[in-house]
Amino acid sequence: MPIINEFAYVKPATVAQALKWLARYKKPAILAGGTDLLNSLKDGSIKPDAVIDIKGLDTLHKISFAGKRLYVGALVTFSELIEAEAVRRLFPVLAETARTIGSPGIRNRATMVGNICSAVPCLDSGPLLLAYDAVVTTVGRGGKREIPIVKWFRGPKKTSLKSGEIVSGVIIPLPEGKHAGCFIKLGRYAGEDLAQASVLAMALEGNRFRVAFGSVAPVPFRAKGIEKLLNGKQLDARLFAEAKKLVAAAIAPITDLRATKEYRAHMCRVMLERSLKAALGRLAGGGPAYGERLL
């Protein structure tokens, strides 16, 4: 499918220059890896008057770990996240999540920041960043902002980014004490498929839990009711059954070409129990290994 809409193409060398270009056009679009943007340009769902290619902004292309916070710059791809030493050592569930995205070709181009800027309900970074209480950092001509991820997603394809701003990166705080996570994604087949539903469970020392869902509501979200039920308790068969009963009220799935809402709801219950058990197993130093298929 060709791109038939005309637009200016600019490639700034600095963030300041990018902000200047952003202010100059009425409907600018930022281009990072292009894995979503190019499709939107081709199908005409967006018609920008300028495409601002930020790939030359080296300051946005860094991963660092300091002060118990992982910083992921806007140009860091999923492949780079999987390879990063701090991610492998301290955030294995981040690598587990990143490995489920698209294919190696997509992961080599697609950025985590582009993923949260596209903000489709099935984005895989959503549950992960919510479970970590991540913070989105932006820069605009009015200055810098830090937006808690819980306030970032405003609806399908809607975020808290203001006009004239660029996302500079994401801060992912390392939780206090020992913790382990598990991401399970339901897809129609192995390969390049978007999530029909996804769950990220995190177990922290002291019987504390974080649970986030994706693809079963207009935006990814933390299931606070389920967390409240589980926190402070030893999980047993009765508690798993009670937690699964809360799933229906927590999610709002739809029926679309990828799945029925009934199937999504059923599988969310299955994935909730499996992800919690896997997170607890990992916290205890056992398996299943990160990346092992649990569906």
**Residue numbers at the binding site for ligand FAD (CB under 6 A):** 29-37, 74, 101-102, 106, 109-111, 113-115, 117-118, 123-124, 161, 166-167, 192, 194
Q: Which is nearer to ligand FAD, 136 or 203 (CB)?
A: 136
Residue 230 near residue 236 (C-beta atoms within 8 A): no
Q: Which is nearer to ligand FAD, 60 or 203 (CB)?
A: 60
Q: Which is nearer to ligand FAD, 117 or 246 (CB)?
A: 117
Q: Which is nearer to ligand FAD, 124 or 273 (CB)?
A: 124
Q: Which is nearer to ligand FAD, 36 or 96 (CB)?
A: 36
Name the residue number minimizing CB distance to ligand FAD: 114
Q: Which is nearer to ligand FAD, 124 or 227 (CB)?
A: 124
Q: Residue 22: what residue type?
A: L
Q: Compute the least distance from the CB of residue 220 to ligand FAD, in Å.
A: 10
Cα 127 from Cα 138, distance rounded (Å): 20
Q: Compute the least distance from the CB of residue 114 to ligand FAD, in Å.
A: 2
Q: Compute the least distance from the CB of residue 46 to ligand FAD, in Å.
A: 7
Q: Compute the least distance from the CB of residue 231 to ligand FAD, in Å.
A: 28
Cα 186 from Cα 213, distance rounded (Å): 11
Q: Compute the least distance from the CB of residue 70 to ligand FAD, in Å.
A: 17
Q: Compute the least distance from the CB of residue 151 to ligand FAD, in Å.
A: 16
Tokens read off for 208:
């504390």
Q: Compute the least distance from the CB of residue 13 to ligand FAD, in Å.
A: 16
Q: What residues pair up with 153 in beta bridges, in sequence order?
A: 159
User: Among residues 10, 53, 11, which one has the least CA distance to residue 32?
Assistant: 53
Q: Which is nearer to ligand FAD, 164 or 281 (CB)?
A: 164
